[in-house]
Amino acid sequence: MQSKTIENSKSWNLVFCCWMIASISTLGSLFFSEVMEFPPCVLCWYQRIAMYPLVLLFLVGTFQSAKSTFAFTFPLALTGWVIALYHNLLHYEIVPESASPCLEGVSCSTVYIDWFGFITIPALSFLSFSLLLGILLILKRNNYYEK
């Protein structure tokens, strides 16, 4: 039983951090859509699909080996990160809107919040996914040297 759980405390802290980041991102996005009633655009939905399951995966991960946690969460985090990157490129008009999949409903380049001139919802999403990817890579390295 003991062998199944995370071996060292550094790895555990990293997984716990990931869980917190995923939880805060999930609750934050729910706050924007359910409390502030901003309608999520298509790209936001794709990012949510990647982010929401991570909350449960990391939660289970705090009681599993770091190796399997990495294996299950990395693909989701990477997918979310790529979509978030694309969303930001769209947002900053590096990719033209006409190339976006949002033809009807809410436009993906609509700006809902803009704190201090650069903190937007897509930017927050990109930050979360980047942090997750970064921590996951540290987790992998950390575990590699442990063996």
Under the binding rule (CB under 8 A), the answer on residue 45 touching other proteins is no
Stretch that binds other proteins, among 27-35, 114-122, 129-137, 139-147 (CB under 8 A): 27-35
CB 46 within 8 Å of CB 83? yes
The backbone torsions φ and ψ at residue 63, rounded to the nearest 5 degrees and listed phi first, read: -120, 15
The smaller minimum CB distance to other proteins, of residues 28 and 85, is found at: 28
Q: Does 59 bind other proteins (CB under 8 A)?
A: yes
Identify the bridge partners of residue 115 per DSSP, sorted by sequence position.
Answer: 119
- Minimum CB–partner distance for residue 85 and other proteins (Å): 26
Q: What is the DSSP string of 36-70?
A: S-PPP-HHHHHHHHHHHHHHHHHHHHTTS-HHHHH
| 30 binds other proteins per the rule CB under 8 A | yes
Orientation angle between helical segments 66-91 and 121-146, nearest 10 degrees:
150
Q: Please count the residues of this chain forming the interface with other proteins, following the rule CB under 8 A.
A: 17
The residues binding other proteins (CB under 8 A) are 5, 12, 16, 19-20, 23-24, 27, 30-31, 34-37, 39, 59, 62
